[in-house]
């Protein structure tokens, strides 16, 4: 295909075509898909599958924008004034400072832009596509016309496509048509050309979502040629918006700016009244205003948040909305799914149960084919029974395991295969692995028993049923069901025994009768006995931390395979024969136990939400530390019966099931929610109820989710967290954060990062404002007292550049403090000035007093009328203020811990900036040409000693205060 074909494809009325016609036009194969080379050629011809975005700002545009900043414009005016009055040296210095300031601003903004772009790449969506006959995950941007892809409930349609195969497929097309009711999609039908878009049941449209079922489709339009592209839709992506904290910081900056500009104006008026030239005071006051106004505050805040988000993304926590960063630091409760988040998500069948009290252990871990079913001699479990159980597990299953032979130096035919890729739900993959250990291959079973119908699993039904045709046997249909034990039992009328003979197995496989098993609903009441035994076995397995699924089966005879579509779902799932129970374990992630312990010390409650049985959930919660393990009384005299009763009562108080949630009012749940650590057998709507109850109690809630029905709960939570691997596109779009690795420990890392960012914002807030306030006090006092200017305009501007530049930015990159996860969560309404007012008062006063005292001392010692004395006094004050701030930056690394308790070189950016600034200042103060430009003089050893000793006063004050505060906290 060539670019010329692109328009032709877009103009075709695809809904009027038959399946064969669509495949012929697209020159592709239903089962094999496209070959890699052909797909590559088509990608070059059609371009990427994406909507054209607005052109991103170039580096030149970002650089030019820096000259539009108000304070830069003010400096340009100051340059013009200096040139006008003949002070060319000052003009040149100000120009140099303007260039340096714009470079700093450019680098900061350019990095933020690149970080945002990188985040967009990290959140790129994927889809399941068939290439070369193999299923693989592909970035949606790589889809081309002719690609065959697979979708299931929760997926977003990646491109406009013709439907090839549908199993109860329904899509929500509200994003495109505005119609909120799901549309049932079907194959084998054609539609008139004039049929509106909303009624084209054989077409899937990009950006719409699958609400039910699954299907296979072939792409006919991508990117701007899709219906979405035609109406100029936009690609969903990261929303960059002002955070509440950033807004508060901007407001704070404006308020401080207004105050300081007012002070500068008053000082300038006083200076003019004292006899200074108007133009001289104008340049000086502009310089003072530029130095005093914390113009870097909003910019550094925005950069810190954006780069913090980028760091989180590198740690697998992708932030979709910047306000989430701020909220993370305030989180008080994390509600987490169990499977795949708290656990590895690699389920392994560990035990099977067959009626009556017959069981066998399964060896091996994960999805590897290595392992076997250990059946003890005389156990009564026959190999035929295991095959039937494995057959049910493999056929009532949508997962796939891809494997290849292990290759070493020599390739041998007898080398075992290893798993290279798994696709599907972890529970279903575990069932496939179990089937392979029994010796049953899914691909061969699918070929022998092709699926002709299914009733999809839903969280409400807790069941999945598939219907299969028996190859070579006309009219013979087999039905396989798996699901929650209680739900399966309710649909069974017989039980298959574990001691089946070959003959009995043959009879059941081909002519199912109730007489092959034990009738469950007998009038003699034996059904209760049987159900009790099965449920008791279920509870035992669940108590051991196993996730339990029941398997059932039946045979049906129909006139033809098409007649099966006339049977209702209810009839398909009735009169089943109960096969047995499989117990699976999903081991906890090793890092999760540590992460939960860290949450406890950080004052964050962890709540586990799962669809598993309550006993399974409690066992896992106890293992990972969400529930404390119960123990005997302190005196050790409690009887085992008393301990057992106590254990049951403690666990009962800490857990709620979905059924119990349904019976509770919202007010009653709000009363219980503080004690409840485990929710079992929950539905998606229960999550929303839990979130609302927690928020009613004043909690800041983080909620995880992966299914399409989790979206409302994620929207309602303060932090909605979607799973990056197992999560659906709908869930990701409803979330504030996406876990790229589906790992609970990543949430804790993100909370830690959120707290670190907020801490660092406070640090450079203190650092920036203390310098600005101190300079205002120094200069205002000097002018009011009738002293000469302690600093010239160029001195003020350089100090502003030196202190508000790289050291301030470096403080925003400070690693987390040792106790960052040992504090209670921060209140969302906490002021940015909370806990730092002492520094904003004490440090500026110390800086002002030492600077003014030094200025007075030098002039008093050498004569107030001496030009050399004035130059020397200014030189010493210039050096004092800069080194005072550089020393103070070291102390600002933590506002609670002494500097010597922090790792010396953990913030290399700060180390480099302090060294760089020191070298630059020493060069200006000692290199004659630069001395002349800045009107400075040489200082002797005694002068330098005085400057450096006074420069450490702020640092010493901070360290003493922190030591005293720490001691008081310990006491």
To the nearest 10°, the Cα dihedral for 104, 110, 112, 113? 160
- Rounded CA separation 639/636 (Å): 9
Which residue blocks in 315-450 are alpha helix, DSSP H? Answer: 323-328, 383-395, 426-438, 442-448
Between 170 and 524, the more confident residue is: 170
The whole-model pTM stands at 0.65
Give me the mean pLDDT over the 145-154 stretch. 89
Mean pLDDT of 176-187: 72
524 is catalytic: no
Name which residue leads in pLDDT, 88 or 474: 474
pLDDT band at 428 (very low <50, low <70, confident <90, very high): confident
Going along the chain from its start, the domains and CATH numbers come out as 3-54+126-230 (2.70.150.10), 243-316+749-970 (1.20.1110.10), 328-343+588-631+640-742 (3.40.50.1000), 348-407+414-585 (3.40.1110.10)
Closest CA to 605 of 708, 679, 686: 679
Lowest mean pLDDT among 160-164, 201-205, 411-415, 805-809: 411-415
Q: How confident is the model at residue 122 (pLDDT cuts 50, 70, 90)?
A: very low
What pLDDT was estimated at residue 22?
92
pLDDT (0 to 100) of residue 160:
92
The answer, yes or no, to whether residue 13 has pLDDT greater than 80, is: yes
Q: Within 10 A of 696 (CB to CB), how many other CB atoms are there?
A: 14
Instruction: Return d(Cα 26, Cα 44) in angstroms, integer.
Output: 16
What's the pLDDT at 419? 53
* pLDDT over 50 (residue 457): yes
Please state, rounded to an integer, the average pLDDT across all residues of the chain.
78
Give the range among 317-326, 491-500, 895-904 with minimum mean pLDDT.
317-326
Q: Is the pLDDT of residue 134 over 50?
A: yes
The 8-class DSSP code of residue 321 comes to: B
Burial class of residue 591 (count of CB atoms within 10 Å of its CB; 0-12, 13-18, 19+):
middle
C-alpha–C-alpha distance, residues 101 and 88, integer Å:
20
Per-residue H/E/C for 108-161: HHHHHHHHHHHHHHHCCCEEEEEECCEEEEEEHHHCCCCCEEEEECCCECCCEE
The total number of residues written for the chain in this structure: 971
At 200-231, the pLDDT tens digits run 899 999 878 887 788 999 999 988 788 777 65
Q: Is the pLDDT of residue 385 over 50?
A: yes
The per-residue pLDDT for range 919-943, each reduced to its tens digit, is: 999 999 999 999 998 899 999 999 9
Range from 590-604, 783-797, 898-912 that averages highest in pLDDT:
590-604
What average pLDDT does the segment 388-416 reach?
69
**pLDDT at position 644 over 50:** no
- What is residue 373's predicted lDDT score, i.e. its pLDDT? 86
Residue 177 confidence (pLDDT): 62
Residue-level pLDDT at 217: 95
Q: Which pLDDT score, from 0 to 100, does residue 171 have?
A: 86
| SS3 label, residue 16 | helix
Q: Using CA atoms, how far apart are residues 466 and 468, in angstroms rounded to an integer?
A: 7
Mean pLDDT, to the nearest integer, of 775-796?
Answer: 83
Which candidate in 90, 155, 337, 710 is catalytic? 337
Does pLDDT of 839 surpass 80? yes
Check residue 408 and give its pLDDT: 45
HEC-encoded secondary structure of 179-226: CCCCEECCCCCCCCCCCCHHHCCCEECCCCEEEEEEEEEEEEECHHHC
Non-local CB neighbours of 633 within 8 Å, separated by 6+ positions = none
pLDDT of residue 953: 95
pLDDT above 90: percentage of residues in the chain: 25
Whether the Cβ atoms of residue 403 and residue 448 lie closer than 8 Å to each other: no
> CA-to-CA distance for 924 and 96, rounded, in angstroms?
14
CA gap 557, 509 in Å, rounded? 12
Q: Which residue has the higher pLDDT, 36 or 272?
A: 36
Distance CA 548, CA 538 (A): 7
Region 806-833 average pLDDT: 81
pLDDT tens digits, 860-886 = 998 888 889 999 999 999 999 999 999
Instruction: Say whether pLDDT at 57 is over 80.
Output: no
* pLDDT band of 411, cuts 50, 70, 90: very low
- Higher-scoring residue by pLDDT: 858, 65: 858
Burial status of residue 177 (CB atoms within 10 A of its CB: 0-12, 13-18, 19 or more): middle
> pLDDT, tens digit, for every residue of 247-305?
565 666 566 667 666 766 777 787 777 777 777 677 667 666 665 665 556 556 666 67
HSE, side-chain direction, 13 A CA sphere, residue 174: 7
Question: Given this model, what pLDDT does residue 504 score?
Answer: 32
CA 924, CA 926: separation in Å to the nearest integer?
A: 6
Give the Å distances, CA to CA, from 56 to 52, 62, 110, 113, 356: 11, 10, 11, 9, 68
């Amino acid at each position: 295909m060539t670019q010329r074909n692109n328009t032709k494809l877009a103009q075709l009325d695809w809904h009027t075509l038959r399946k064969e016609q669509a495949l012929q036009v697209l020159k592709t194969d239903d089962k094999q898909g496209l070959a890699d080379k052909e797909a590559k050629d088509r990608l070059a011809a059609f371009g990427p599958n994406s909507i054209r975005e607005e052109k991103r700002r170039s580096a030149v545009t970002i650089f030019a924008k820096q000259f539009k900043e108000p304070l830069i414009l003010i400096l340009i005016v100051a340059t013009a004034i200096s040139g006008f009055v003949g002070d060319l040296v000052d003009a040149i210095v100000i120009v140099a400072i303007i260039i340096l300031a714009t470079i700093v601003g450019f680098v900061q903004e350019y990095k933020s832009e690149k970080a945002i772009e990188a985040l967009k790449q990290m959140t790129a969506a994927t889809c399941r596509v068939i290439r070369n006959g193999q299923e693989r995950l592909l970035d949606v941007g790589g889809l081309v016309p002719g690609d065959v892809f697979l979708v299931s409930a929760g997926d977003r349609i990646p491109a406009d496509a013709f439907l090839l195969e549908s199993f109860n497929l329904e899509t929500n097309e509200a994003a495109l048509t505005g119609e909120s009711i799901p549309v049932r999609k079907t194959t084998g039908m054609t539609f008139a050309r004039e049929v509106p878009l909303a009624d084209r049941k054989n077409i899937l449209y990009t950006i719409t979502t699958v609400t039910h079922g699954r299907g296979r489709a072939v792409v006919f339009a991508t990117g701007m040629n899709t219906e979405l592209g035609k109406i100029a839709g936009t690609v969903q992506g990261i929303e960059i918006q002002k955070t509440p904290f950033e807004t508060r910081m901007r407001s704070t900056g404006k308020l401080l700016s207004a105050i300081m500009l007012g002070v500068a104006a008053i000082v300038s008026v006083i200076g003019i009244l004292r006899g200074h030239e108007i133009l001289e005071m104008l340049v000086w006051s502009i310089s003072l205003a530029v130095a005093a106004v914390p113009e870097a505050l909003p910019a550094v805040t925005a950069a810190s948040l954006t780069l913090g988000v980028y760091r989180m993304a590198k740690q697998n926590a992708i932030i979709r909305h910047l306000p989430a960063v701020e909220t993370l630091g305030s989180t008080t409760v994390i509600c987490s799914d169990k499977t795949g988040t708290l656990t590895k998500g690699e389920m392994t069948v560990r035990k099977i149960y067959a009626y009556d009290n017959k069981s066998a252990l399964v060896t091996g871990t994960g999805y590897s084919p290595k392992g076997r079913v250990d059946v003890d001699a005389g156990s009564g479990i026959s190999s035929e029974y295991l095959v039937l159980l494995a057959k049910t597990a493999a056929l009532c299953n949508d997962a796939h395991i891809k494997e290849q032979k292990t290759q070493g130096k020599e390739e041998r035919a007898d080398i075992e295969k290893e798993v290279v890729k798994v696709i599907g739900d972890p529970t279903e993959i575990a069932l496939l692995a179990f089937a392979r250990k029994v010796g049953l291959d899914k691909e061969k079973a699918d070929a022998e028993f092709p699926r002709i119908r299914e009733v999809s699993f839903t969280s409400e039904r807790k069941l999945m049923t598939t219907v299969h045709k028996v190859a070579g046997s006309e009219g013979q249909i087999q039905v396989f069901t798996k699901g929650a034990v209680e739900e399966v039992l309710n649909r069974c009328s017989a039980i298959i025994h574990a001691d089946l003979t070959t003959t009995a197995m043959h009879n059941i496989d081909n002519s199912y009768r109730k007489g092959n098993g034990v009738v469950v609903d007998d009038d003699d009441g034996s059904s209760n006995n049987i159900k009790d035994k099965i449920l008791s076995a279920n509870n035992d397995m669940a108590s051991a931390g196993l996730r339990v699924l029941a398997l059932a089966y039946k045979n049906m005879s129909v006139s033809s395979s098409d007649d099966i579509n006339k049977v209702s779902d209810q009839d398909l799932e009735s009169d089943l024969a109960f096969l047995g129970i499989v117990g699976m374990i999903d081991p906890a992630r090793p890092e999760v136990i540590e992460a939960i312990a860290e949450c406890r010390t950080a004052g964050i409650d962890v709540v586990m939400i799962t669809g598993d049985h309550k006993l399974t959930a409690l066992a896992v919660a106890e293992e990972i530390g969400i529930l404390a393990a119960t123990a005997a009384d302190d005196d050790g005299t409690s009887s085992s019966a008393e301990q057992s009763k106590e254990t049951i009562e403690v666990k009962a108080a800490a857990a709620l099931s979905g059924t119990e949630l349904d019976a509770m009012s919202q007010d009653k749940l709000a009363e219980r929610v503080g004690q409840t650590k485990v929710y079992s057998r929950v539905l998606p709507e229960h999550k929303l109820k839990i979130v609302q109850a927690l928020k009613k109690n004043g909690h800041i809630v983080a909620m995880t989710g992966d299914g399409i029905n989790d979206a409302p709960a994620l929207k309602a939570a303060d932090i909605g967290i979607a799973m990056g691997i197992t999560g659906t596109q709908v869930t990701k779009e409803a979330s504030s954060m996406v876990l790229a690795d589906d790992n609970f420990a990543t949430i804790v890392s993100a909370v830690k990062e959120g707290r670190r960012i907020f801490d660092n914002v406070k640090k450079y807030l203190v650092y920036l404002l203390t310098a600005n306030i101190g300079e205002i006090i120094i200069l205002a006092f000097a002018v009011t007292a009738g002293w000469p200017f302690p600093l010239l305009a160029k001195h003020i501007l350089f100090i502003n550049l030196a202190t508000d530049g790289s050291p301030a930015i470096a403080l925003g990159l400070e690693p987390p403090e040792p106790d960052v996860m040992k504090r209670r969560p921060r209140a969302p309404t906490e002021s940015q000035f909370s806990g730092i007012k002492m520094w904003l008062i004490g440090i500026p006063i110390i800086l002002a007093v030492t600077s003014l005292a030094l200025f007075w001392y030098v002039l008093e010692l050498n004569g107030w009328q001496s030009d050399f004395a004035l130059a020397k006094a200014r030189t010493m004050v210039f050096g004092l203020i800069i080194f005072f701030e550089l020393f103070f930056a070291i102390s600002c690394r933590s506002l609670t811990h002494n500097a010597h308790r922090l790792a010396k070189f953990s913030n290399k950016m700060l180390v480099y900036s302090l060294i760089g600034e020191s070298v630059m200042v020493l060069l200006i103060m000692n290199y004659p040409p630069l001395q002349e430009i800045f009107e400075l003089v040489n200082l002797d050893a005694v002068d330098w000693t005085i400057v450096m000793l006074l420069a450490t006063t702020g640092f010493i004050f901070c360290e003493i205060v922190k030591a005293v505060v720490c001691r008081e906290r310990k006491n």
